[in-house]
Amino acid sequence: MTQNAAPSLDELLAQAPSNWGKWGPEDEVGGLNYLGPEQVVAAAALIRSGKVFTIQRLIGDPKGDPVWPGRTPAVRTQIMDEATWDRQDAPQFPGGLHYADDKIDAFLQGSTQYDALGHVWYGGRIWNGYDARTTVGGMAKAGVEPIAQRGVVSRGVLLDMARFRGKKNLDTAETFTHEDLLACAAHQGVELRKRDILLIRTNYLQLFFDLGDKFYDGFCEPGLVYSPELVEWFADMEIPNLVTDTIANEVTTDPNNGVVLPLHSALMRNLGVTFTEIADLEALAADCAEDRTYEFFYAAAPLKIANASGAPVNPIVVK
């Protein structure tokens, strides 16, 4: 399907469910409102072995950082190190203290990160009906700061779609549905429950390291594919947070309608599902495959950055 033949999001999602106003006209965190003390306590009860996994990908990886086309990887610059004190004008501190200092220049969504709910939109309105003009110069509404201030804690469930399909990694443009998620969960022996945080493994970004620059040729990641039934399922399940190991959490271009990233609009903009992208799920997935335990305590909080449309995060899983 050509780009010109793709329907507008207004047309595609005309009858799609919406949670706008569900938590009041000033809400900026959407489905995270589903998570309260009850979910935190229940998630804590899943801690049995005390094994801890951090699922952020390394920023400034010497092998490269996978990013959305058009973004550039983070650049770390050394500002001060021992060589600084070789200079005649080196700072002098009583006692002889030396130190290192550095900085990074990075896209806030160029690593493992949380999207703000106002990150994407159509029809001139972002999450909860805020005017898209509130994004001009920075996110005055539905930015990442409210998510960061709140934090995210609940039962997490890993759905290892790559292992479920018997593959090292899913293929370019390979799709799956909510029914596939349910089948994967059944195969793993884990029940999906309302208000779960879903972590989906494709291992697709392994191709970034295997292929180098060719990774971006015909760029189309695997992932969930839009259908009205899938959106209704997310709404009925009250899913607060979708976490994947891909750059954009869904198949890049929908093979059925030609729209780019329709689930960003249907789930994030309309339902308030928070997206977490570029997670490193490999160590966690290997452990889950070994002990056959795919449910766990999940906790995350992106960096508190004012007016930002996203922020890096290092989520923690405890089993």
Confidence of residue 101 (pLDDT cuts 50, 70, 90): very high
Task: Say whether pLDDT at 4 is over 80.
Answer: no
Q: Say whether both 95 and 124 belong to one domain.
A: no
- Mean pLDDT on 166-182: 98
- Asked if the structure places residue 278 within a domain, the reply is yes
Domain membership flag for residue 9: no
- Domain check: are 215 and 292 in the same one? yes
Say if residue 21 is in the same domain as residue 83: no
Displacement of CA 58 from its chain's centroid (Å): 15
For residue 11, being part of any structural domain is answered with: no
Residue 191: inside a domain, yes or no? yes
Q: Are residues 88 and 199 in the same domain?
A: no
Question: Is the domain of 141 the same as that of 219?
Answer: yes
Residues found in the chain: 319
Are 175 and 262 contained in the same domain? Answer: yes
Does 100 share its domain with 180? no
Q: Structural domain tally of the chain?
A: 2
Percent of residues in the chain assigned helix, strand, coil, to nearest 5: 30, 20, 50
Same domain? For 89 and 33 the reply is no
Mean pLDDT of 286-302: 98
Assess if residue 3 is contained within a domain: no
- Spatial distance between the Cα atoms of 16 and 271, rounded to a whole number of angstroms: 9
Q: What pLDDT score does 213 carry?
A: 87
Over pLDDT 90: what percentage of the chain?
Answer: 98
Q: Residue 44's domain is classified under what CATH number?
A: 3.50.30.50
Q: Residue 3: is its pLDDT beyond 60? A: no
pLDDT tens-place string over residues 220-261: 999 999 999 999 999 999 999 999 999 999 999 999 999 999
Percent of the chain's residues with pLDDT above 70: 99
Say yes or no: 41 and 89 in one domain.
Answer: no
pTM of the full structure: 0.96
pLDDT at 1 over 70: no
Contacts of 43 by beta carbon, 8 Å cutoff, 6+ apart = 153, 154, 155, 156, 296, 297, 298
Average pLDDT, stretch 127-145? 98
In a domain, 7, yes or no: no
Q: Which residue has the tokens 């009041």?
A: 24
In the predicted model, is pLDDT for residue 2 greater than 90?
no
Domain range for 91 = 75-104
pLDDT band at 138 (very low <50, low <70, confident <90, very high): very high
Beta strands in the chain (DSSP E): 52-54, 75-80, 101-105, 113-115, 152-160, 175-176, 197-201, 223-224, 241-244, 274-277, 295-300, 310-312, 316-318
**92 and 167 assigned to the same domain:** no
Mean pLDDT of the chain: 97
Judgement on whether residues 80 and 184 belong to the same structural domain of the protein? no
Q: Which amino acid is at 191?
A: E
pLDDT at 5: 85
- Interval 87-93 mean pLDDT: 94
Dihedral over Cα of 278, 119, 122, 72: its sign: negative
Helix (H) or strand (E) holding 159: strand 152-160
Q: Is 35 inside a domain boundary?
A: yes
Is 10 inside any structural domain?
no
